[in-house]
């Protein structure tokens, strides 16, 4: 289906299920192409149990429409965010402590937001 993200990288780390939404994955691939840097996924689909274990109360990962992308430096950070915005992601979260960028296209939550956590 794609060349950038192997199925095991998209699957839940807890149970191995992979329920990533195709449209979200296509948007992620577009963001990766636009950014021109590798996307190392920290997290993609999470089953509800694993999502709770991660301390999340959001339904983004269990819905299969969210990805956490690791970054190494501010240049990668910029390119990832730029690619995400240009590909149509309207929800971006930054975790500077753990050095990852969250992107999701969950239409049930506030749009056109960038948040930190």
Distance CA 9, CA 6 (A): 5
Which domain, by its residues, includes 51?
7-116
Does 90 map to a domain? yes
Does 2 map to a domain? no
Does 68 map to a domain? yes
Does 84 map to a domain? yes
**Tell me: the pLDDT tens digits for 47-90?**
999 999 998 989 999 999 999 999 999 999 999 999 999 999 99
Question: Domains in the chain: how many in total?
Answer: 1
**Tell me: the pLDDT tens digits for 1-59?**
467 899 999 999 999 999 999 999 999 999 999 999 999 999 999 999 999 999 898 99
8 three-state secondary structure: helix
User: What CATH number should be reported for the domain holding residue 86?
Assistant: 3.30.1380.10
Does 1 map to a domain? no
Count of CB atoms within 10 A of residue 94's CB?
A: 17
48 three-state secondary structure: helix
Does 15 map to a domain? yes
Strands of the chain (E only): list them.
40-43, 66-70, 91-95, 100-104, 113-116
């Amino acid at each position: 289906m794609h060349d950038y993200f192997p199925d095991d990288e998209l699957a839940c780390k807890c149970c191995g299920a992979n329920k990533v939404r195709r449209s979200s994955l296509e948007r992620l691939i577009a963001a990766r192409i636009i950014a021109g840097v590798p996307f190392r996924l920290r997290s993609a689909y999470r089953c509800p149990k694993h999502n709770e274990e991660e301390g999340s109360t959001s339904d983004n990962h269990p819905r299969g429409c969210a990805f956490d992308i690791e970054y190494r430096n501010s240049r990668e950070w910029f390119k990832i965010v730029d690619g995400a915005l240009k590909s149509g992601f309207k929800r971006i979260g930054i975790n500077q402590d753990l050095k990852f960028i969250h992107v999701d296209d969950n239409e049930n939550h506030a749009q056109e937001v960038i948040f930190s956590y």
